[in-house]
Amino acid sequence: MTKAISPRSRKVRVLATLGPASNSPEMIERLFDAGADAFRVNMSHGDQASKVPVIQAIRSLEKKLGRPTTILADLQGPKLRVGKFAEGKVTLVTGHEFILDRDPTPGDATRVELPHREIFEAAEVGARLLLDDGKLVLRVISHAPDRMTTIVEVGGPLSNSKGLNVPDMVLPMAALTEKDRSDLAFAVEQGVDWIALSFVQRPEDLMEARRLIGGKAALLAKIEKPSAIARLDELLEQCDGVMVARGDLGVELPPQSVPPLQKRIVESARRLGRPVIVATQMLESMITSPSPTRAEVSDVATAVYDGADAIMLSAESAAGDWPVESVAMMNSIADAVERDPTHGDRVHFTVTRPDPTTADALAEAAKNIAHTVSAAAILCFTTSGSTARRIARERPNVPIMVLTPKIETARRLGLLWGVHAVHTRDVGSFEEMVAKAKRMALRHHIAAAGDRVIVCAGVPFGTPGSTNVLHVVRLLGDELKTYKGSDSAG
């Protein structure tokens, strides 16, 4: 890739979901121009064949712009639903009993099929069942292997195949369905950069997904169930990144508990150096309105102040009336927050203590030196991306430019706070490293003549996880004029 594109002025990344309103190559480019850094392909909607031209369009845009572009494929996960009703719809009355059973006969106001044996296996007296995104609440009063009697605590209309949430149970159910396994294999074959796993309950769910991915993509855990919160640290150890999926969290938990949980997840992920995405209903009103509510603006701003790596748009960019405007709005909110003089202090409310390793010590030192000498940027050479993740965890007050010979690494880093990744030829010596760092800083307009930049790398070069060099250099400004070779990885 020879064309150089300037980094975003902000450090938090914007992840835009693609869908009917934004699937065309023209719209994908417009979303990028408006501020989208990465794109989410939702495997819950449409078939696999419909995803191929979307992924191809993103890769074509990548070539056109000369900038590695990130694709996240989001797996659907198990969908718990009740069966069908003889009349298509019933009304459950508060205080009345309602039975869930394994009988496929269409239901009525007294019973309906529940085609998930795992729920019967996990059921306990007192457990809640939430129907239709939590609008209706049932509580188990007795249960058997194929029949569960509940009391209706919150009644209302219930129609065919409505969704079911079971916040008080850990289900003996794998996070990967047969559809998910097929979609995962398809996504890996198509070369996506991240796989997002839904319905994560236990570390074993992530281990199975990682085995199937086989190192060909990064693994992101969606935290959307109370059982995942209970084992958060274990889950973070098993994944490459995490998403605060506030939609299902807000159904299975009291709404007032979601904001502190969001902060806890963001803080825990940051401490371990895992990219963390805050998602769901961030600019919900922009599905139908060209402008957000003030509360939504404040919600996005809070995620940026907390130091989240990325903020995500769902239906706003996928199926709404204002996809480009919603991305532009999220971009402008993030820009405004990061220009706030107090932003840096607020981001560092979370203390990220380095592990007792050379790589972590140098990452922390790079941040401190950049601040002390007023450097323009930190540049790091990496093969695996681990150096970039360590530096990004420190949340330095300058841009992070990542130079890597692996296009896969460059693409995966698109969800990382403050990182501008460049796919370029590898270096073979210390002198070559310094010279290339100067050229790339100038070429990508990340520094100018007279600026200092911090350079991090590992020697011997090309050895993953060997970060052991930190060097401060000053740019003269003529490094590009005197260089006759090519930095392109092509």
Q: How far is the C-alpha of 1 from the C-alpha of 414, rounded, in Å?
A: 16
Give residue 247's pLDDT: 87
Q: What percent of the chain has pLDDT over 90?
A: 83
Tell me what the mean pLDDT of segment 423-430 comes to: 89
Catalytic residues: 40, 81, 222, 280
Q: What percent of the chain has pLDDT over 70?
A: 97
pLDDT beyond 90 at 144: yes
Give residue 3's pLDDT: 56
Q: 310-324, pLDDT tens digit by residue?
A: 999 999 999 999 999
pLDDT beyond 80 at 1: no
Tell me what the mean pLDDT of segment 351-371 comes to: 89
Q: What is the pTM (predicted TM-score) of this model?
A: 0.92
Query: Residue 485 — very low, low, confident or very high, per pLDDT cuts 50/70/90?
Result: low
* Of residues 278 and 466, more confidently modeled: 278
- Indicate the helix (H) or strand (E) that contains 462: none
pLDDT beyond 50 at 231: yes
Give residue 4's pLDDT: 64
Give residue 414's pLDDT: 96
Give residue 428's pLDDT: 85
Q: How do strand 452-458 and strand 467-474 relate by DSSP bridges?
A: antiparallel
pLDDT beyond 90 at 359: no
Tell me what the mean pLDDT of segment 423-447 comes to: 92
Give CA torsion, residues 244, 248, 252, 258, to 10 deg.
40
Q: Please, what is the average pLDDT of the chain?
A: 93
> Rg of the Cα trace of the chain?
24
Q: 366-409, pLDDT tens digit by residue?
A: 999 999 999 999 999 999 999 899 999 999 999 999 999 999 99
Count of other CB atoms within 10 angstroms of residue 167:
18
Task: Write down the number of H helices and E strands in the chain.
Answer: 17, 21
Q: 3-37, pLDDT tens digit by residue?
A: 566 789 899 999 999 999 999 999 999 999 999 99
Q: How far is the C-alpha of 181 from the C-alpha of 467, rounded, in Å?
A: 36
For the chain, give the longest Cα–Cα distance. 83
Lookup: tokens for 41: 């392909």
Give residue 486's pLDDT: 67
Count of other CB atoms within 10 angstroms of residue 261:
18
pLDDT beyond 90 at 191: yes
Q: Are 126 and 115 in contact (CB under 8 A)?
A: no
Q: 29-77, pLDDT tens digit by residue?
A: 999 999 999 999 999 999 999 999 999 999 999 999 999 999 999 999 9
